[in-house]
Each structure stands twice: as structure tokens, then as C-alpha cells.
A and B are shown apart, each in its own frame.
Chain A
């Protein structure tokens, strides 16, 4: 168990949902798996500019709320999960941000 060590206090599920959602949006180029999303969350927590307050992130290595947050986001229709096979035929569950409009249209609107 790694609760309590590392950065920040014990996280809540609501906070974890925000961090997971931000990481999924960062990784929207290719549908990421749970471990990839977690690594991105750790990068976001430590990847802060000098002088800024570090982003509140998960305790080092604590993954106890990762999957509850991911599945909660899926139940809320904020992310979409699919099973994809890799080159070895192993199936991984991947997540993608659910959007009402296709990503190309969203990008065109932003530009």
C-alpha cells in the first residue's frame, strides 16, 4: 500500500476523476490504456514549471482510484471505452474522450 506517501493528501474520487479526464484529453491522439493514463497523470503532477505550485496529483504509485474514476467517467458518458488488440493479439481496454461532434469539427471550431 502506498497511501499517504508521495505528493498530496489522500485523494477523493471526484479529484481523481478530474485528473483522469485531463490525462485522457492529453492522450486523445491514440486511445490509451489504464497504465498509460496513469503514467500521464504522474507526468502532469511532476511536469510543472519552476515557481508554480505543483499540480495536486496522485500519491506516488497509488492506483486505487484509477479504475473507479475511469469507470465512473464511462458511466457518466464522459469517456468511451473499447477493447483493442495489440500486435501480439492481447486485448487491452482503451479509453477515449466522448464528444458530441467529431474531433475534426471540434478542432475547426477552436481554430
Chain B
């Protein structure tokens, strides 16, 4: 229970933040649109001097340029004031026509009154409140948009899948535009779509909320939020947010600054879709389920992570011992096996291990004989340029033993083997390479005759790209 306390606190804070941001957005929406609190029609049809008062208020409103609720309130208040003023003047003995002119004249020129009221409403304090509220609403909008984006992306994926299946059923086979990448492209598109939706919602929340709080027209403050949204969300999406990537998803992420600008301007005067109680409940439940799911996955992964013996590690100590190298992983593509005569008694290696983490894929080979591990330097004294080579491999989900893809004649990544006692290690960052998966890593070295030989048959695996859009664009391959 105590271990869950941080999760409960974080979840509670997140839910409170979302509820507060939605409440702030709804308050601003009521200000920007004439809601249920609207004081009603400003001038009653039967009111004394209704045409003159309406004309005066219309000229005043033209200079007001405030949110709709404020305009309605000002008009209603001034109409009420004029009603009272005309009645007082008539009680003092003024004729009706003169009382109307006098009452309107005391309020001054309508355009000047509208300008003064606009200045009074658009105070610096409200401008600062609008800026702060906009940032707050953008944060909540990004989270809500992200959750909504996941749902939208999933629905879109299901719709496309259903359409493809339907077309296939009637004999129309579409070309495989996503290639054979174990769903990495689809994952990256889902990821990019969620960020796009989150950016659009966050920017729109920021514009509408800051406009309502600062008593300014949405299009007036949209310029600021368009620039801020394009810079902040563009920076986050292109440089900071890391996840699966592909060329289509990177293309979408590069459009995020444009999406922020469009969300700030396109039809920004229209009210936001009403965020009802059920939408909030569904969002909160989705957030809770998402966080708990991520937490459960992390717990599951952490309990099984760590270095593990390579079950697929195949070691060949001599070229003629091909039976020990079964199944055939096409290792001859790399280099011939090292002659047994050039290897000491301590060869082959006792085994190897690998581990995967944020720093990349780490490979570790240990040399040993019997109970005692031997020094790598002693074993490989007559070998030079000892290195790990990463080769493209055959897809692991296809039938067959797998192994190195013979269409390639050279490795796509090479790391020098670093000796440490009886170990040789190297670290590869496959998650920063495009099209690196699936891979096969082997250990090679240059023998006494000056030719390169295979020391360790290595092992294969699969690592999807995981980085920012910029990492993808600047990846070495």
C-alpha cells in the first residue's frame, strides 16, 4: 500500500489538474459566448426611447470589442441606467423627448464611452491572468488531447484495417505501404497522431481561455499563442519527445508548428465543443487506466530485465565443426571461421550476454577455460582489430532459422571490442538507427595472416527506433 502511495498522489494530482483546467476553460467559454447568465435583451421593445437607446448602444458596442458576455452585460446595464435616468428626468419635469436626449447626452459620445469601457475591461491584471490561464489550460488541453488522440488514432487504425480487410474480401489487394517492420510504422503513426491532436487541442484551449480571462477577442490573442504554440510544441515534438518513428510519422511531426498556427486561427471565434460531465469522467478513467497500465508494464519489465544467457548464442570453434553451428545462420557471409590452430585452449567462449536499456544494446562475451577465466589479452595476443559487427538479419517472424541477411555484404555498425579482464564488451545504439532491425551481432578479429576471421557466431535480435523526429532525420542510416 505504501509503495502505491506515490502513484496515488501522482494520479490524484493529475486528475485535480485536469478538472481545474477543464473548469477554467468552461468559465472562459461562458464569457466568450452568451451563456445562461446572459442578462437578457438590453432594451425592452416597450421601453421609453427604445429606438434612440438601441441606436446609441449599437454605436457604443461597435467600439467595445469585448467578449460576447461582456458586451451583453454592458448593454443591459446601460439600458437599465438609461431607463432609470429618463424616469428621473421626467419626474423633474422634462418632456419625454428632451429627457431621452439629456439622459443619452450625460453618458457622452457613444464611441468614446465604448472605448473607455474597453480600456477599463482590458486591464493589465486581466492580461496577466489570461496569460497564466492560457498556459494552465494548454497543459490540461495537451493531456486531454493526448488521451483523445489515442482514442482517435485507434479508431482510425481500426477503420483503415476494416477497410483493407473489406477490399481484400472483394479481391482488391492494396500495396503494403507500411512494409515489413513488425508494426513499427503503424506504432509511429499512432504516436504522431496523438501528438498532433494534443497540440491542436492545447493551442485552442490556450487561445480561448486567455481571450476569456483577458477580455480580448480570440483572434487578438491568437497571434501570441500561434507563435508560442508553434515554438513550444514544435520543439517538443521534433527534438524532445521520443518514441517510435518512421518517415510518415516524422512528416506528421514536422507539421506540428503548422497545426499549432492553424488551431490558433481557424474558426477560433466558434465556441469549443462542450466538455460535458461524461467527457470528463471518461477522460479521467482513461488516464487512470493508462497510468496503471504503464505502471503494470514497468513492474513486469523490471522484474524480468537484466542480463540473461543468450539462448541462441552459437559458438563455432573450428570451420570443420559445422554441425555445432546448426542451424545455419549464414555466418560465412561475415568471414571464415577462425582456424582452431590459431586459438588457444581457452577458446571458445564460455558464453555471452546482452542487455538492453536507455544507453543502447550492450554485448558482453566472456572467455574462459574450465573453472578459471582467462585474460582476453593472453588469449588474443596474436589477433588484432577485435571488434563486434552488427549485420542486417532475416526477419525473426518468418519461418526458418533466421540468421544474417545474405543480401548485405558489410555490417551496418561496428564497435571495437573493449577488453575488461576475461570479458569483451561493446555497446550498440540500435534504437538510434533507422532500419537497423532485425540485427545480428558477431565478434571478428584480424588473424596473424592479415585476414579477418569470425571468433563468435554472436546472436540476433530486434530493436525498433526510439527517439525524436530530429534523431530520425540525423540518424546515420
Give A residues with C-beta under 8 Å from B: 1-3, 13, 33-35, 61-65, 67-69, 71-72, 75-77, 83, 90-93
Q: A34-B81, A35-B84, A76-B125 are in contact. Are A69 and B120 (CB under 8 A)?
A: yes
Cross-chain contact of B125 among A13, A35, A65, A77 (Cβ < 8 A): A77
* Residues of B close to A1: CB separation below 8 A: 105, 108-109
Is A62 a contact of B116 with CB atoms below 8 Å?
Answer: no
* Residues of A close to B125: CB separation below 8 A: 75-77
- In the complex, which residues 101-119 of chain B have their Cβ closer than 8 Å to any Cβ of chain A? 102, 105-109, 112-113, 116-117, 119
Is A91 a contact of B106 with CB atoms below 8 Å?
Answer: no
Is A75 a contact of B120 with CB atoms below 8 Å?
Answer: yes
Top 3 A-B pairs, shortest CB-CB distance: A64-B108, A68-B116, A72-B120
Is A34 a contact of B119 with CB atoms below 8 Å?
Answer: no
Q: A62-B106, A76-B125 are in contact. Are A90 and B80 (CB under 8 A)?
A: yes
Is B106 a contact of A68 with CB atoms below 8 Å?
Answer: no
The proximity string for B residues 59-87 relative to A, scoring 1 for CB distances below 8 Å and 0 otherwise, is 00000000000000110111011001100
Cα-based distance from A92 to B76 in the complex (angstroms): 8
The proximity string for B residues 110-142 relative to A, scoring 1 for CB distances below 8 Å and 0 otherwise, is 001100110111110110000000000000000
* Residues of A close to B108: CB separation below 8 A: 1, 3, 62-64
Q: From residue B361, how far is it (CB to closest CB) to chain A in Å?
A: 59
* Residues of B close to A90: CB separation below 8 A: 80
Is B106 a contact of A63 with CB atoms below 8 Å?
Answer: yes
Cα-based distance from A76 to B116 in the complex (angstroms): 15
* Residues of B close to A64: CB separation below 8 A: 106-109, 112-113, 116
Is B121 a contact of A75 with CB atoms below 8 Å?
Answer: yes
* Residues of A close to B400: CB separation below 8 A: none
**Count of B interface residues, CB-CB < 8 Å:** 31
Q: B344 at interface (Cβ–Cβ under 8 A)?
A: no
A-B contact count (CB 8 A): 81
Is B123 a contact of A72 with CB atoms below 8 Å?
Answer: yes
* Residues of A close to B350: CB separation below 8 A: none
* Residues of B close to A63: CB separation below 8 A: 81, 85, 106-108
Smallest CB gap from B122: residue in A: A75
Is A2 a contact of B106 with CB atoms below 8 Å?
Answer: yes
Q: B12 at interface (Cβ–Cβ under 8 A)?
A: no
Cross-chain contact of A34 among B39, B77, B120 (Cβ < 8 A): B77
Is A67 a contact of B105 with CB atoms below 8 Å?
Answer: no
Cα-based distance from A62 to B85 in the complex (angstroms): 12
Cα-based distance from A91 to B126 in the complex (angstroms): 26
Cross-chain contact of B126 among A3, A65, A75, A93 (Cβ < 8 A): A75
Q: A63-B106, A64-B107, A90-B80 are in contact. Are A71 and B121 (CB under 8 A)?
A: yes
Cross-chain contact of B117 among A35, A68, A93 (Cβ < 8 A): A68
**A62-B108, A76-B125 given. 9 additional CB < 8 A pairs?**
A33-B80, A34-B81, A35-B84, A35-B88, A67-B81, A67-B120, A68-B113, A72-B119, A92-B80
Cross-chain contact of B123 among A76, A92, A93 (Cβ < 8 A): A76
Q: Pull 6 A–B residue pairs with CB atoms less than 8 Å apart, ordered by A.
A: A33-B80, A34-B80, A35-B88, A62-B106, A75-B215, A91-B40
Smallest CB gap from A91: residue in B: B39
* Most A CB within 10 A of own CB, among B88, B102, B116, B119: B116
Is B120 a contact of A33 with CB atoms below 8 Å?
Answer: no
* Residues of A close to B123: CB separation below 8 A: 72, 75-76
Q: From residue A58, how far is it (CB to closest CB) to chain B in Å?
A: 10
Cα-based distance from A71 to B39 in the complex (angstroms): 17
* Residues of A close to B121: CB separation below 8 A: 71, 75
